[in-house]
């Protein structure tokens, strides 16, 4: 038995089996970056770290960007350092330390590249969780110091400052305060790398809130690379910290132009900006300006200009600047960005300033007078919904942005331009969900219970929030309704006018939001100790990014009306079997579920009303294991089914979804990839394939197209086209040497005109390959040629496709076209341009350059109807070809009839065949001319050959005249040669083919197209007569005369 089949029989799919099932990015534009650095002295090279979207690099100053971190397992890059002594050595610290909401990507330690980011090695500190800053010795690229905050969810001994002297092979923890305190920032004296300045941060996050600050926070100094250290936070030194004056997050810096000038920015009841002029011995408070450090856990970062110790750039909500050592900020600072996180200034050129912020990144080359904004495809999408249009549209809300609606397929070229996405109300959080019966209506959420109902027909929206009493700044315990940042929104699958949302209650409307009623009591623990101010004792931050007793999940059974499930952030799962009249708490029946558990998703089965799947996470208590449970009895008992997902710091689950066609087939999204099970959770397989590592926040299956649509929190929306082969995988099927899957129907979309958009965009999405996706499986590698044939209803093979002989699941796309016209190979230079090279193989391609000609040489589109897909993989594997049916459907947007399409296809195929005849004549004439020219060259000077040579030259001239009626023989390959002489049959037939088959949608040929075709056909008949006389009479006669 084949090894691969044996694995399938055990239902443990090898991810390599699925590697051909590729995702595609569709948009939209991205948002948050949190780390940035450039190569000193080289404006062309910049690195950017995204909050949860990987690491990016430009080598041309920002015109083009490449993702250089896709082969690792981690998505968040919070710190970047380039070795000053060797710019090929680049370090990356992972895991975000700018924390304000529970949507926060994890890290798994340090990475290092020695080839400027081409490849990366994982070099330790796996358990540190989040590394917010790192510094590298100016003289030794192997010496680095890392500032580890910890994962922040629970006490852990891995928090602190670490040092390596061997390129990350080993690390020494050189500063540890306690298990609740990690490092928030570190600086190295650029003139003496033994001197270090560190800010330590006591911090904890759980589902009920964020507590930043405590006696562990403080400032430390080392004069021997960390071997020993002293605490500088001392009231006698002028710097607070400790039990008497606890601090929160801390940023530090040492001025390059004056190494005795040190700065510290602290989170405090009012932020404190401190300055030392003696290397940290004495400190002076120079400012308490709140602008310097608003919402401190999310910011607290600044940089000092390398040529001016008084010039300071501060990254906070605003991008601020001081020119007097922090004592004041200028009124009109440089416009670096909004919600800023990192600032890097070129140590060799203070005019070059780079800023990472929630809108992307900004680059200035003139000391901040102007900035160029960089937007990368790193969108943090919270959820995804789809409608049922053909092709369908994708909906979701993006952090630090707004809501989006965009096409899964633009039908305009290969890309989905950013301009095809538009706002559908709501804001940066929550859901955007179209009405399943009328997708002109979209319900879209926002924080603080915000809810809007958008009408696409008018472009207008209406605020329909449940309780329009603003709660900003209030502790959750003190308001009527408590709302999660991403409160749940669900439209009943049985009544599209019934819409549910969740606070601590379930609310329902049946009149488009005109009125709401409570459908449930409080379905959380309602623990008032979990409803306090968020932020901690120093600063309060109540924007409902954290709330310890709110609902996060609502879902109604699609097969049993009135069965409604809810899940909360404090470990409560309820079910109602009577439309909300009564509720049963089933939390006690779920092992590992407790008050710190966050119920992320509940998926009622579409096959059985008593069955549901519950995904919850304990990661905010330091437990990163995957938890998915299944019930088949309305929650009376639940069984864990997620043990097959490998455990790591990224394995906690955000979402579980059930496949709508195959029972027991589930999809799960963790903090770095998608998983799939075919056997109801017995075994799980990675379905990451080509997707970069990224948190998977929501999944949905578009049922008509059988596409898996993914909302990633860091790389926008992705689509895995066509799940039909994955659904069909069975042990019996894979025991065969070869299997050809029955494909989904394919739409014969006709192109639409695109929008006008900016060139050079980094965030354009990708359309699916045009046509039909064809899947087959080979148990072993096949050495013979593997091919796919497309056969029409008359039994004629209209297309042959090359296919892979590799083992595993394979995918081939047929573009729904017949074979294209053949290409002529010119074996002689143009008569008047003998300098044109023939190429290594002795020929050059006939090109008639013009954009409105190219499509005319493509194969005509097949008409809508039934076809047969035939697989041939050699006589040993497929002694009898495998065949499956395929339906090609007409474009539903087209107004052409089936008769119109067939008439167009008849003419297009006739033109294609005429082009082939023209090419065949050109090829034969070219061989003839080459023979004659070779003879002239060989015998031109030989005695007694004058007549024969003269006859050869005369015959060659006649051949050129015949060829000249088929194509412009003076073409050289330059595009505008086409305008130097009249176009002939080859070009005119191509142009007509373009007009008929490409530029006419699905309409029948026009009368004038038919008339022109008749004229061209007559001309072809005439030149054919000359061609036949030349080939059948003149050339043979000449050959007979040759001795």
DSSP state of 239: B
Helices (H) and strands (E) in the chain, counts: 8, 67
DSSP state of 237: G
- H-type alpha helices, 10-121: none
pLDDT, mean of residues 192-216: 95
* CB-based contact 773:804 (threshold 8 Å): no
Q: Report helix, strand or coil for 807.
A: coil
Residues 333, 339, 341, 345, CA torsion sign = negative
Question: Which DSSP helix (H) or strand (E) runs through 219?
Answer: strand 218-222
Distances, alpha carbon 112 to alpha carbons 40, 444, 693, in Å: 18, 42, 17
Confidence band of 850 (pLDDT split at 50, 70, 90): low
How far is Cα 703 from Cα 724, in angstroms, rounded to an integer? 11
Question: Which DSSP helix (H) or strand (E) runs through 934?
Answer: helix 898-939
Distances, alpha carbon 865 to alpha carbons 258, 528, 529, 742, 904, in Å: 78, 64, 65, 16, 15
Burial class (CB in 10 A: 0-12, 13-18, 19+), 147: buried
Confidence band of 746 (pLDDT split at 50, 70, 90): very high
Question: Which residues is 554 bridged to in the sheet?
Answer: 566
pLDDT value of position 302: 98
Residue 551's nearest CA partner among 207, 873, 261 is 207
How far is Cα 984 from Cα 1020, in angstroms, rounded to an integer? 10
pLDDT, mean of residues 456-480: 95
Residues 1013, 1019, 1022, 1028, CA torsion sign = negative
Say if residue 2's pLDDT is above 70: no
pLDDT value of position 11: 56
Tell me how far the alpha carbon of residue 956 is from its chain's centroid: 59
The residues, any chain, with a CB within 8 Å of residue 369's CB and separated by 6 or more, are 334
**Proportion of the chain above pLDDT 90, given as a percent:** 87
- DSSP of 849-910: --TTTGGGGSPPBPPSEEEEEEEE--TTT-SS-EEEEEEEEEPTT----HHHHHHHHHHHHH
Greatest CA separation for the chain:
116
Pairing of strands 882-890, 746-748: parallel
Confidence band of 9 (pLDDT split at 50, 70, 90): very low
SS3 content of the chain, % helix, strand, coil (to 5): 15, 30, 55
Q: Report helix, strand or coil for 120.
A: coil
Q: Where are the domains of the chain?
A: 1-30+614-735, 32-374, 379-462, 466-585, 768-1041
* CB-based contact 983:955 (threshold 8 Å): no
pLDDT value of position 688: 97
pLDDT, mean of residues 426-448: 97
Kindly report the three-state secondary structure assignment for every residue of 404-448. Answer: EEEECCCCCCCEECHHHCECCCCCCCCCEEECCCCCCEEEEEECC
* CB-based contact 739:783 (threshold 8 Å): no
pLDDT value of position 1: 32
What's the whole-model pTM score?
A: 0.96
Q: pLDDT digit string (tens) for 109-150?
A: 999 999 999 999 999 999 999 999 999 999 999 999 999 999
Q: What is the topology classification, in CATH, of domain 32-374?
A: Methylamine Dehydrogenase; Chain H (2.130.10)
How far is Cα 929 from Cα 830, in angstroms, rounded to an integer? 11
Q: What are phi and psi of 181, to 5 degrees?
A: -125, 125
Tokens found for residue 227: 């071997």
Lowest mean pLDDT among 515-519, 574-578, 933-937: 933-937
Q: How far apart are the first and last CA of the chain?
A: 68
* Count of Cβ atoms closer than 10 Å to residue 601 Cβ: 25
- DSSP of 690-742: TPPS--EEEEEEETTTTEEEEEEBSS-EEEE---HHHHH--HHHHTSSEEEPP
Say if residue 358's pLDDT is above 50: yes
Confidence band of 849 (pLDDT split at 50, 70, 90): low
- H-type alpha helices, 940-1034: 946-963, 985-997, 1007-1029
pLDDT, mean of residues 728-752: 93
Residue 171's nearest CA partner among 110, 228, 87 is 110
The residues, any chain, with a CB within 8 Å of residue 858's CB and separated by 6 or more, are 817, 820, 997, 998
DSSP state of 989: H
Q: pLDDT digit string (tens) for 229-277?
A: 999 998 889 999 999 999 999 999 999 999 999 999 999 999 999 999 9
* CB-based contact 62:369 (threshold 8 Å): no
The residues, any chain, with a CB within 8 Å of residue 1007's CB and separated by 6 or more, are none
Tokens found for residue 755: 């929008």
* CB-based contact 544:483 (threshold 8 Å): yes
Say if residue 868's pLDDT is above 80: yes
How far is Cα 214 from Cα 233, in angstroms, rounded to an integer? 13
Q: pLDDT digit string (tens) for 615-656?
A: 999 999 999 999 999 999 999 999 999 999 999 999 999 999
* CB-based contact 637:612 (threshold 8 Å): no
Q: Buried b vs exposed e over 882-913: b needs ≥16 C-beta within 10 Å?
A: bebebebebbeebebeeebbebbbebbbbbbe
Tell me how far the alpha carbon of residue 1010 is from its chain's centroid: 47
Say if residue 454's pLDDT is above 90: yes
pLDDT, mean of residues 218-228: 97
* CB-based contact 10:4 (threshold 8 Å): no
Q: pLDDT digit string (tens) for 656-709?
A: 999 999 999 999 999 999 999 999 999 999 999 999 999 999 999 999 999 999
Say if residue 914's pLDDT is above 70: yes
Q: Which residue matches tokens 């929030």?
A: 465
Mean pLDDT, the chain, whole residue set: 95
Please work out, in degrees rounded to the nearest 5, the angle formed at the alpha carbon of residue 285 by the alpha carbons of 252 and 218.
Answer: 45
């Amino acid at each position: 038995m084949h090894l691969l089949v044996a694995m399938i029989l055990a239902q443990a799919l090898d991810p390599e089996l699925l590697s051909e099932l590729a995702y595609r990015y569709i948009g939209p534009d991205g948002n948050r970056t949190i780390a940035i650095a450039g190569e000193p002295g080289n404006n062309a090279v910049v690195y950017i770290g995204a909050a949860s979207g990987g690491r990016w690099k430009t080598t041309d100053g920002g015109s083009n960007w490449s993702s250089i971190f896709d082969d690792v397992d981690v998505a968040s890059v919070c710190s970047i350092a380039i070795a000053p002594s060797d710019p090929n050595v680049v370090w990356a610290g992972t895991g975000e330390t700018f924390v304000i909401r529970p949507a926060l990507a994890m890290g798994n330690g340090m990475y290092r590249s020695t080839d400027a980011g081409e490849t990366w090695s994982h070099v330790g500190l796996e358990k540190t969780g989040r590394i917010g800053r790192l510094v590298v010795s100016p003289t030794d690229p192997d010496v680095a110091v890392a500032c580890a905050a910890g994962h922040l969810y629970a006490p852990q001994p891995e928090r602190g400052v670490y040092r390596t002297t061997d390129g990350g092979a080993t690390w020494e923890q050189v500063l540890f305060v306690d298990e609740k305190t990690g490092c928030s920032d570190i600086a190295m004296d650029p003139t003496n790398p033994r001197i270090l300045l560190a800010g330590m941060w006591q911090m904890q996050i759980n589902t009920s809130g964020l507590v930043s600050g405590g006696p562990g926070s403080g400032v430390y100094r080392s004069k021997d690379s960390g071997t020993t250290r002293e605490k500088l936070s001392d009231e006698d030194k002028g710097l607070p910290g400790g039990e008497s004056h606890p601090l929160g997050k801390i940023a530090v810096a040492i001025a390059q132009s004056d190494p005795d000038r040190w700065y510290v920015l602290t989170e405090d009841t009012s932020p404190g900006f401190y300055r030392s002029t003696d290397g940290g011995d004495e400190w002076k408070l120079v400012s308490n300006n709140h602008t310097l450090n608003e919402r401190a856990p999310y910011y607290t970062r600044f940089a000092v200009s390398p040529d001016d110790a008084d010039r300071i750039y501060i990254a906070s909500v605003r991008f601020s600047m001081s020119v007097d050592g922090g004592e004041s900020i200028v009124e009109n600072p440089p416009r670096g960005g909004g919600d800023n996180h990192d600032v890097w200034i070129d140590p060799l050129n203070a005019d070059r300033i780079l800023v990472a912020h929630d809108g992307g990144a900004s680059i200035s080359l003139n000391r901040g007078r102007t900035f160029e904004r960089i937007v990368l495809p790193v969108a943090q999408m919270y959820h995804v919904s789809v409608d049922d249009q053909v092709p369908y549209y994708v909906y979701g809300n993006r952090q630090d942005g707004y809501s989006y609606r965009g096409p899964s397929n633009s039908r305009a070229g290969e890309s989905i331009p950013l301009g095809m996405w538009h706002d559908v109300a709501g804001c940066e959080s929550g859901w955007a969900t179209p009405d399943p019966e009328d997708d002109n209506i979209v319900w879209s959420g926002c924080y603080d219970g915000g809810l809007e109902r958008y009408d696409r027909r008018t472009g207008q929206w209406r605020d329909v929030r449940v309780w329009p009493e603003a709660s900003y700044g209030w502790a959750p315990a003190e308001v009527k309704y408590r709302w999660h940042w991403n409160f749940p929104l669900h439209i009943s699958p049985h009544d599209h006018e019934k819409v549910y949302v969740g606070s601590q209650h379930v609310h329902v409307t049946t009149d488009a939001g005109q009125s709401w009623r409570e459908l449930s009591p409080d379905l959380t623990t309602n623990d008032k100790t979990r409803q306090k101010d968020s932020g901690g004792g120093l600063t309060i931050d109540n924007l409902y990014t954290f709330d310890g007793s709110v609902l996060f999940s609502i879902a109604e059974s699609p097969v049993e009306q009135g069965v409604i499930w809810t899940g909360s952030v404090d470990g409560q799962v309820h079910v109602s079997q009577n439309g909300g009249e009564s509720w049963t708490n089933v939390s006690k029946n779920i092992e590992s579920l407790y008050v710190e558990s966050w119920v992320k998703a509940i998926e009622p089965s579409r096959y059985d009303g008593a069955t549901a799947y519950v995904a919850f996470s304990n990661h905010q208590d330091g437990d990163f294991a995957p938890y998915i449970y299944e019930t088949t009895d309305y929650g009376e008992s639940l069984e864990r089914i997620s043990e097959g997902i490998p455990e790591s710091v990224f394995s906690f689950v955000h979402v579980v979804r059930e496949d709508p066609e195959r029972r027991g087939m589930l999809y799960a999204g963790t903090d770095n990839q998608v998983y799939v099970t075919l056997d109801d959770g017995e075994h799980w397989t990675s379905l990451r394939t080509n997707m970069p590592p990224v948190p998977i926040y929501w999944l949905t299956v578009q049922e008509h197209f059988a596409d898996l649509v993914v909302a990633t929190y860091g790389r926008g929306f992705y689509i895995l086209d066509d799940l039909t082969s994955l659904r069909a995988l069975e042990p019996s099927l894979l025991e065969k040497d070869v299997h050809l899957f029955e494909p989904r129907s394919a739409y014969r979309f006709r192109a639409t005109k695109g929008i006008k958009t900016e060139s050079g965009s980094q965030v354009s999405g990708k359309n699916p390959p045009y046509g039909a996706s064809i899947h087959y499986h080979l148990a072993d590698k096949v050495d013979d040629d593997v091919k796919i044939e497309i056969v029409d209803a008359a039994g004629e093979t209209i297309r042959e496709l090359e296919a892979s002989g590799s083992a595993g699941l394979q995918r081939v796309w047929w573009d729904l076209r017949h074979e294209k016209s053949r290409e002529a190979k010119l074996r002689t230079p143009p008569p008047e341009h003998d300098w044109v090279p023939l190429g290594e193989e002795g020929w050059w391609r006939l090109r008639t350059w013009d954009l409105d000609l190219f499509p005319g040489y493509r194969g005509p589109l097949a008409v809508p109807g039934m076809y047969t897909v035939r697989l041939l993989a050699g006589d040993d594997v497929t002694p009898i070809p495998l065949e499956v049916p395929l339906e090609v459907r007409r474009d539903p947007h087209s107004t052409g009839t089936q008769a119109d399409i067939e008439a167009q296809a008849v003419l297009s195929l006739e033109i294609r065949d005429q082009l082939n005849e023209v090419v065949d004549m050109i090829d034969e004439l070219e061989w003839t001319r080459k023979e004659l020219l070779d003879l002239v060259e060989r015998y031109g000077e030989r005695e007694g050959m004058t007549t024969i040579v003269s006859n050869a030259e005369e015959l060659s001239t006649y051949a050129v005249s015949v060829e000249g009626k088929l194509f412009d023989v003076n073409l050289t390959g330059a595009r505008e040669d086409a305008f130097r002489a009249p176009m002939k049959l080859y070009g005119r037939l191509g142009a007509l083919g373009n007009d008929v088959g490409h530029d006419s949608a699905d309409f029948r040929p026009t009368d004038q197209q038919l008339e022109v075709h008749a004229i061209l056909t007559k001309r072809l008949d005439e030149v054919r007569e000359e061609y036949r006389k030349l080939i059948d009479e003149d050339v043979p006669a000449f050959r007979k005369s040759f001795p």
